[in-house]
Amino acid sequence: MMESFLLGMKSNMNICTKILQLAEDPEGLEELYRKEPQDFMASYKDALAENHGSLLLQAWCARLEFNPSRASALAFSDLVLMVFLCLVAGTLYKIPMWTDVTDSQFYPRYVALIPFSAMLVFTLHMKGWVWRRDVWVLGATAALAGYMLLIPLGENISYVLSFLFLPFLLWSIYGIARMGGEWRENAARIEYIRYFGELLIHASLFLAGGGVLLLLAAGLFDLLGLPSRWVFEYVALYGLAAIPLVAAWATDTYSAARRIVPLLAKIFSPLLLILIVAYMVAMAFNIDELFKSRATLLLYNVLLLCVLGTVVFTLTGRREYGEQKFTQVIVIFILVFTMLLDLVGVIAIVWRIYEYDYGFTANRLAVLGSNLVVLGNLATMCLGYFRHWRGAGSLDEVERGLAKYLPIYAFWTMFMVLGVPWLYRY
């Protein structure tokens, strides 16, 4: 037993010596830690005591002694505000059930705006209020809520389009609120894209887990012969209203999803490429469907959004897994083939505008404009990837191009929400 103790002491001394020798070599320390993590953790304090002035060893001390539970602890006042905002959002969702306002009058306008407002207020609170800046964001949100009341409901598709594009406009407003004074900087915009991908993962997990829990609860109450409608009328509704806020807090607090988003993008990018090629082959034999069938055109646009999301999250998450040549080649092929599909889709939309009656309707304007906006984004990224492939550019430049393109999405969604309902109101 004494011999094993002495051997352990000798091993720790050897590791301590190695740490001191690598005190100015970040990569060497990382390699040593990965090779012998237990011995490293047992010896780094001794090395720091001998070389207390080393900033690198101090950084390792902070890294290894970091307490996630302490960093993620929510202050009582913050918790109270979170619960309060969730209850307010859920209560607002109940307005049609407690008043004469119908579901069709209320939910299209406010189904996205209510949880967004709660999430926005909590985020601004957690970031620290800066009233000169935040009053503009809150004022814009309040004005948007009032504007929704002015949009008349009817069979006109322009009103439906305004409600459908509203979440994308809210995404832009929330991004400005999160980025604060850095919203013009490319790095802040890219970080917001990464954050939003993680938020989607957390929200999806909460939605799936909460849905299973509610179904089990309702099933158990039914088995006992007890009423279970309240589970869906109250718990489910309040839960849906709370998910965006809680997901935003979880994304800020825990970084588990940071590696999941780019991993999912890497896994699905080859599968998506196969799907795109298969779609192109099928389209070559059924080209008339794209020009005549609205359902085919709609499905094509869903595919376009999936491609855009996969490429963007692969690009912005590459630092988690490194820049792999295979992934870059897959992304380039996806971009090229999708651009070809998008061009065909734009031609099909223009053909429908001039071939069928009613001409340039609001629906066709929305589809054509959205396709052109996405096409421009794909083209920008494709050119950046080609430059990187040829050694004339870097993926950082592709990121910067993506960041500079984001305002185009914001202006387009703003036009669809604020302008289209009045252009096509008759």
pLDDT tens across 137-190, in order? 999 999 999 988 888 766 667 788 888 899 999 999 999 998 888 888 888 898
113-134 residue pLDDT tens = 999 999 999 999 988 888 777 8
**Neighbour tally for 397: CB within 10 Å:** 15
- The angle at the Cα of 276, spanning 203 to 364, to the nearest 5 degrees, equals 75
User: Considering the chain, what is the average pLDDT of its residues?
Assistant: 81
CB 314 within 8 A of CB 331: yes
Q: What is the pLDDT of residue 13?
A: 54
CB 313 within 8 A of CB 187: no
- Considering its fold, how many domains does the chain have in total? 3
Confidence band for 2, pLDDT divided at 50, 70 and 90: very low
Give the residue from 61, 62, 12, 59 showing the smallest Cα distance to 36. 12
Q: Which domain holds residue 38?
A: 8-66
196-245 residue pLDDT tens = 888 988 899 999 999 999 999 888 888 888 888 888 888 999 999 999 99
**CA–CA separation, 171 and 194 (whole Å):** 13
**92 with 200, same domain?**
yes
**293 with 343, same domain?**
yes
**208 with 323, same domain?**
no
If you average pLDDT over residues 7-28, what whole number do you get? 69
Which residue, 253, 285, 310, sits at the end of a domain?
Answer: 253
**246 with 273, same domain?**
no
Of 230-234, 303-307, 318-322, give the lowest mean pLDDT range: 318-322
Task: Please say whether the dihedral angle defined by the alpha carbons of residues 360, 364, 365 and 371, taken in this order, is positive or negative.
Answer: negative
Judged against a pLDDT cut of 60, whether residue 4 lies above it is answered with: no
**103 with 140, same domain?**
yes
**CA–CA separation, 125 and 171 (whole Å):** 18
Please report whether residue 228 resides in a domain: yes
Please report whether residue 406 resides in a domain: no
Please report whether residue 153 resides in a domain: yes
How far, CA to CA in Å, does 37 sit from each of 4, 256, 404? 19, 21, 42
Secondary structure (DSSP) of 150-170? HSPPSS-HHHHHHHHHHHHHH
How far the first Cα of the chain sits from its last, in Å, is: 91
**199 with 86, same domain?**
yes
CB 382 within 8 A of CB 339: yes
Judged against a pLDDT cut of 70, whether residue 259 lies above it is answered with: no
**39 with 99, same domain?**
no
Judged against a pLDDT cut of 50, whether residue 334 lies above it is answered with: yes
Please report whether residue 265 resides in a domain: yes
60-117 residue pLDDT tens = 777 776 544 444 557 888 899 999 999 999 999 999 888 888 888 888 889 999 999 9
**248 with 161, same domain?**
yes
